[in-house]
Amino acid sequence: MKTTDIEILIISALPPAMLDEFEQHFRVHKLWLHDNKTAYLAEHGQFIRGAVTRAASGISAEVINALPALEMISSFGVGLDAIDLDAAERRGIHVTNTPKVLNECVADTALALMLSVSRRICEADRYARAGAWLTSPFPAAMRMSGKICAIAGLGNIGYQVAKRAQGFGMAIHYYDPKPATEPGFTRFDTLTALAASCDFLVLTLPGGNKTRHIIDADVLGALGETGILINISRGSVVDTQALIHALADKRIYGAGLDVFEHEPEIPTELFAFDNVVLLPHIASNTTETRNDMANLTIDNIKGYFTDGSLKTPVIRSR
């Protein structure tokens, strides 16, 4: 089926190669370039049948409702918390995302953060660059091998984190509604109990209202002064102020954070802690993975408007 007459809306900026691909196959509207988005949608929204967004940008009920002809949404990313799924479902709009293709790189980043915080890698780098080694040796750090890795949210990424942690001789504890399919993992009924059991608490939870600030002062207190928090999921799952207080009071050993509540803003209080490693949401940001994500995003919307196929539809259970 010919798609070049089909109009699609791109919510936020995408890699140039993706934009080129979309413009070859569709009539493209670039919403992020317009200051008055409401006026733009009022003028063009009635003709738009497809929408493309990034996981962090999502698509609101307001935008969905401004697109009466909308049939499908293709999201560049895994997270769905910024997409109003209820609004889409009420309209019978198909939603797709890009699961699994980024599991490996996100899990790699989790282990990188675990090592960076426990072995004080970033701090040691700053120490060496400042010439401080000339006057005194760098202080001792924490061993990672043989410790306990706890995973909150044992989905596809969680399993990949566990696989890598086992390579360091680490025992795996977890919190998840579903029992683990791997033998030897220890399941906990609460996040507080999980945190109390481990040396590293790795967050691979979904975002959204149900998990907002689920990592609170009680969980951080249970993690304790030798525990390390790693967040590669969503910034919203951690109570940021509780984390700042826990770090300031030395109630946890440190933290490795790839995500934040109000990205790209990072609370300036976190800059003061040498035992915190801060990344600008780059867990899946490798050339290979981003290419795979881009191809899947494109294939979903092209497939739908060509023959009705969807490679990775979002399944919602009631």
The residues carrying an active-site annotation are 234, 263, 281
Q: What Å distances lie between residue 210 and 133, 206, 215, 314, CA to CA?
A: 47, 9, 12, 18
Preceding amide of 264 cis, omega within 30: yes
Cα-based angle 161, 286, 54 (whole degrees, multiple of 5):
90
- Cβ neighbours for 297, distance < 8 A, ≥ 6 positions apart: 18, 52, 74, 75, 76, 96, 98
Q: How far is CA 178 from the centre of its chain?
A: 21
What are the tokens at 81? 């918390």
Is the Cβ–Cβ distance between 147 and 170 less than 8 Å? yes
Q: Which amino acid is at 45?
A: G
Residues in the chain: 318
What is the spatial distance between Cα 78 and Cα 56, in angstroms, rounded to a whole number? 9
What are the tokens at 12? 């936020």
What is the spatial distance between Cα 283 and Cα 34, in angstroms, rounded to a whole number? 29
- What 8-state DSSP symbol labels residue 70? -
Q: Which amino acid is at 103?
A: N
Is the Cβ–Cβ distance between 204 and 233 less than 8 Å? yes
250 CB burial (10 A radius; 0-12, 13-18, 19+): exposed
Q: What Å distances lie between residue 232 and 29, 61, 259, 284, CA to CA?
A: 32, 27, 6, 10
